[in-house]
Chains A and B, each alone.
Chain A
Amino acid sequence: MPPPPSTRPAPRVRIHPLGDTALLAELGTRLDTALNTRAIALAAALKKRRDVRQAVAGYTGVTVHFDPDQTTPDVLGAAIKRLAAKRPPMAEPGRLHRIPVVYEGPDLEEVAARLNLSPARIVELHSMPIYRVFLVGFVPGWAYLGPLPEELELPRRHVPRTQVPAGSVAIAARQTGIYPLPTPGGWHLIGRTSVKLFLPDSDPPSLFRAGDRVKFFAAKS
């Protein structure tokens, strides 16, 4: 069966230089699954070009590292605009990961109090959606997942923790994620998982890839 015709017009692309060997191609600025799908498809198409060293999809755009001996930002920018104007290939549904979470994070009570919800309701809301991996990056194995249900939206903590344990399941704004390594962090910790996100002896070394889907479920400690 042919894919249904796209109902959205091709986004206008804005090209910004990032120095003389990279550029940022922005397809939009809103948190939007369709934009992210286009960004991931654009990154995949760009990676096939010989003048492109690496293309990394962000939420709504692509950061392109290019070989300045083989192309110029103008030539590459024009090629990006042509590629972005094409209807993206039907997005693969992405792999689905089911992640057990022990919802006993140090911030669960506080989050519940601030949102005027019971901890049990927080767990229910957090484990209900199938989240999308919008972007893998920041530190090895970190993935930005979303969108988080509106009822759980909270700004980041005022004072970030200097050390967050690996495996912490956290929320902030309309996003959720799992700390893959012990790092500083400003998100609210509502649970933990034993699933390893950073797989240093695999290639790629991240369990999640952009476009994957993630479903959390409550597990006993």
Chain B
Amino acid sequence: MTTVLRVIEPGLLTTVQDLGRPHAIAAGVQPGGAMDRFAHRAANLMVGNPEGDATLECTLTGPQMVAAHSCLVAITGADLDPSVNGQAAPMWTGIFLGQGDRLTFGGRRSGGRAYIAIAGGIEADSWLGSASTNLLAARGGMHGRNLKAGDQISTSRQATRPAVSGHHLIESLRPQYFDHTLFAIAGPHVKRLDSQGRGLLFGATFKVSREADRMGYRLDGPRLATSGEELLSFGLTAGAVQVPHGGQPILLMADHQTAGGYPVVATVVSASMPVAGQLIPGDELHFQEVTLERARQMRLALAAALDTLR
């Protein structure tokens, strides 16, 4: 449709993401999608898009872009210090960019991934039912790759609602990403940990290692010893905490391998995955065990926060 943004600098890793392709996991394709789906959905709702529209996921450093056409955008997620024409731009709020306006980002203040939604969506390659970028298969999004200088971002359709700026998430509902408590439910193989291991899993502080990307995070910290025979491979899910030989846990994220045979000792609940999706190497975190009922309440609270934007 209309070209609305031109990319001057792409940022460290900026990709097109939506809610992923969960049906493709049966063929071994990673589900993909936004790492922080609360921020992704909120950004879309603030500009009047369906919550599953494609957004730009900006990792650690934001892009620099110039508006080729006036457009309504919203920036959510990590605070990467956004500015329009050098003036600080509000986050978690729909804002207008006029033709020629320059959207830039300064330094990172919190979180790891910011999301930019554009009213009318983002024109992107669809692959297996999703616009999410799969870098391994080089499919989806911006031709299967991250953004680069010179790319043009177009809307995917005419906006169906009048563009209104100022639509925002109230302050008290905005995630801060400073509390890295990840609420989790004990996993299918938690009994393979000894009592000390279980205590460490739900008590110790772990740190996201340098081996951390959209597939998952290897966690530094105490080693978790597991016992028992090798498992036969089974289907995995984002949020699963796997413990391979050697005992260094791995938290699986949006582009996780679809199957594996390492013990899964815990699974982070859906309401904590947005926070998990904002972690970067060096961040400390800890797992706190919760009941399914508590997980449900947390999930409903996030849904209610998004409902304030509808």
Which residues of A approach B to under 8 Å, CB–CB? 16-22, 24, 26, 29, 31, 43, 53-54, 56-63, 65, 68, 72-73, 134-144, 173, 180-181, 198, 200, 203-206, 209-210
Contact = CB atoms under 8 A, between A and B. Distances in A.
Contacts of B230: 173
Contacts of A19: 184-185, 237, 239-240, 267-270, 295
Interface string B225-240: 0000111111111011
Chain B CB within 10 A, most for which of A140, A143, A203: A140
B136 A181 contact: yes
A114 B146 CA distance: 45
Contacts, number: 141
B221 interface: no
Contacts of B24: 204-205
B234 A61 contact: yes
Interface residues of B, number: 45
A59 B234 contact: yes
A83 to B, nearest CB: 17
B310 to A, nearest CB: 15
Interface of B: 22-30, 127-128, 136-139, 184-188, 229-237, 239-240, 257-260, 264, 267-271, 292, 295-296, 299
A210 to B, nearest CB: 8
Contact of B128 (A18, A61, A203, A209): A203
B230 to A, nearest CB: 8
Contacts of A18: 185, 187-188, 237, 239-240, 264, 267
Contact of B233 (A20, A21, A53, A59): A59
Contact of A24 (B139, B234, B270, B299): B234
Contacts of A24: 188, 234-235, 264
A173 B27 CA distance: 23
Contact of A56 (B136, B231, B259): B259
Contacts of A205: 24, 27, 29, 128, 137
Chain A CB within 10 A, most for which of B28, B188, B230: B28
Given A19-B237, A20-B269, A59 B232 contact: yes
Contact of A138 (B26, B260, B299): B260
Given A19-B184, A54-B22, A139-B258, 6 more contacts: A20-B292, A20-B296, A53-B22, A72-B292, A134-B232, A140-B137
B16 to A, nearest CB: 17
A137 B267 contact: no
A20 B239 CA distance: 10
Nearest to B267: A19
Contact of B270 (A20, A54, A56, A144): A20
B237 A139 contact: no
